[in-house]
Amino acid sequence: MGAKNKKVGVIVSIMLVGGALTYLALGNFGENLVYFFTPSEVKAFSSEYYQKKVRVGGMVVEGSMEAYADRLGMTFELTDGEATIPVTFEGIPPDLFKEGQGAVVEGYWTNKHNFQSNLIMAKHSEDYMPIELKRAGVKLPRKDFMKTLVQ
Amino acid sequence: MTSLYLRWGGLLIVAVGLSVLTYNHYQQHLSTVSPHQMKEQAPRQEIRLFGMVRGGTLEGKVKAGDATFELMGNDTSVTVHYQGPPPDNLRELKTLILIGKWNPSDNIFEARDIGLITNYGFVIGAYLIGLIPLAIFLFAMSRRVGLLYEEIKESKLYQEE
Amino acid sequence: MIIHRVIRKVQRFQGWFGSGAALCLIAGLYIGLVDSPPDYYQGEVVRIMYVHVPLAHTSLFAYIVLSVGSMWYLWKRDPIVDNMCHAVAALGAIFTTLALATGMIWGKPTWNTWWTWDARLTSYSVMLLILISYLMLRTFIDDHEKEARYAAVLAILGLVDLPIIHFSVEWWRTLHQPQSFSMRGVSMSSEILIPLMCMSIGMSLLFSYMLMVRTQLLYLDRLLHAKKGRLLSQFHMSQSDS
């Protein structure tokens, strides 16, 4: 490899890495500083957010889930302990989606104050144990889920 | 160099042994049957039935561990009566594994427990992708070190300068 | 020469690391894939943790070794330390890539997505970028001494990313779950902890072993080049003499 080629290589690699870092810094953190909004924040959205695709994270309210009988989809509620928002979802929810557990949904907050989503991501906690222990009521130390939402 | 190949051959044998053990474990404890296969084969022994709970069909005292619902396979669905420990993960539109017996006389699957999701393909994929590149990389490096030693020895570069 | 003595010493322990790694990993694989129970919430998929977490923590360990080695090099200018840094960067890049790949495979069945730009995943990818740029820098600079110096500076600058990766799940809202080992305690029952520990210890030993092999490889390569170069110049000199 000649000296000129090497120089080109240095420039290309610096540009590649620099570009990637800038993309990460501006493209993802610049536009939405948080990875997801909480239901309280979504409730306070102004009308300019209605057409924006956003992510909301919260806990699925116990007993709020209702699946449609005629097609694949469901409605449920997400809460952060202070505010609760209704969510309509089209599709098959992921395996780990469960009432009383965390979920991050992607979609649009509509002017009817309803969140419409077609992507649910299930959040799981950091405690791991076999089902026998869980049924025996063993509790392992873990971070309070509501705290992970507002940090 | 021969000892290098011998060592890696040994590791390869152990790896094959582990895969056989894993495969047996899967076959014995984790393989499942779809509603369609179940209706065709009508097995008498206990099976693990795999399907999705149809929306709007879950009824009964779910929290107490007594429920009836419809389980959908690809094209066939079957009515399930679940009676067992309070289920942790029973809800509509949930893909799950039911452990129990098929009762052909009244077309009801009597489930006594809910098995945990298997998704074994992901597990195997992660282990293969996580470990095989490391093994290949390490083997290539060890081999190259051996070759370099031989080259240094042969070209007599190590004799006094 | 001191370097030769170091190499010889390293070689003496190398076998122990290698066989220790093999034993721990084989035991860990057996317990993790066959003997251990599934998790109450994730089911069988939790077994992916036994390969993902060891890979991820080893890659962080690799970066710590890289930055400490770089500081040592800038201080002492010991060429074998520079070889070690060059070796550990390549290994770190491989471990990071594999941790990302296994993490993606774990993410699909649990989170329902292969990839998402949350703080943990983003800061971890930045580490891979730093390692790749480190390796590129080493490939493209001609002057060996300059190459080693610049690379060491880059590695030390990149150390900023490490606490960000570690605390990202505690500081920001993420999809990734918080640490299982923290001030709160250990959030794993022993059935899950044992295979994870086996694989973690095995992976650390494997990493150390691979580092020894690779450092040796780079060292021998350099030695061979230097000696060949010297022979070549001797040959040229003898020709120009005659």
Quick: pLDDT tens for C40-67: 888 889 999 999 999 999 999 999 999 9
The nearest CA of chain A is from the CA of B20 a distance in Å of 24
C109 → chain A, closest CA residue: A95
Does residue C191 carry a pLDDT above 70? yes
**Residue showing tokens 């239901």:** A39
Q: How high is the pLDDT of residue A26? A: 58
Give the span between the Cα atoms of C121 and C108, in whole angstroms.
14
Does residue B117 carry a pLDDT above 60? yes
C neighbours by CB contacts (3+ pairs under 8 Å)? A, B
DSSP chain A: --HHHHHHHHHHHHHHHHHHHHIIIIIIIIT-SSSSB-HHHHHT--GGGTTS-EEEEEEEPTT--EE-SSSSEEEEEEE-SS-EEEEEEESPPPTT--TTSEEEEEEEE-TTS-EEEEEEEE---S-B-BHHHHHTT-------HHHHHH-
Is the CB of A138 less than 8 angstroms away from the CB of C189?
A: yes
Q: How high is the pLDDT of residue B131? A: 94
Q: Which amino acid is at B132?
A: I
Quick: pLDDT tens for A97-108: 988 889 999 999
The whole-number average pLDDT for the span C183-193 is: 89
Read off the tokens for B41. Answer: 């084969």
Q: Provide the β-strand partners of residue A89.
A: A74, A117
- Whether chain A has a CB inside 8 Å of the CB on B74: the answer is no
Find the CB nearest C39 among A121, A129, A149: A129
pTM confidence score? 0.89
> Chain B interface, mutation test: which of A61, A71, A74, most B Cβ atoms within 10 Å?
A74
- Domains, chain C, with CATH or none: 16-174+189-219 (1.20.120)
Domain coordinates in residue numbering, chain B: 31-115, 119-155
The whole-number average pLDDT for the span A71-94 is: 91
Task: Collect all residues with Cβ–Cβ distance below 8 Å to A87 and sequence separation of at least 6.
Answer: A56, A75, A76, A77, A78, A105, A107, A114, A115, A116, A117
CATH fold of B31-115, please? OB fold (Dihydrolipoamide Acetyltransferase, E2P) (2.40.50)
- Whether chain C has a CB inside 8 Å of the CB on A118: the answer is no
Find the CB nearest B129 among C41, C95, C101: C101
Q: Provide the β-strand partners of residue B108.
A: B79, B103
Residues of C in contact with B99 (CB under 8 A): none
Q: How high is the pLDDT of residue B161? A: 44
Q: Are A113 and A56 within 8 A, CB to CB?
A: no
> Chain A interface, mutation test: which of C36, C40, C183, most A Cβ atoms within 10 Å?
C40
- Residue A139: left if φ>0, alpha if ψ -120 to 50, beta else—which one? beta
Distances from the Cα of B120 to the Cαs of A121, A149, B123, C214, in angstroms?
20, 31, 5, 34
Q: How many CB pairs under 8 A join B and C?
A: 110
Q: Is the ipTM of this complex over 0.85?
A: yes
Is the CB of B52 less than 8 angstroms away from the CB of A135?
A: no
Q: How many CB pairs under 8 A join A and B?
A: 38
pLDDT band at B2 (very low <50, low <70, confident <90, very high): confident
A neighbours by CB contacts (3+ pairs under 8 Å)? B, C
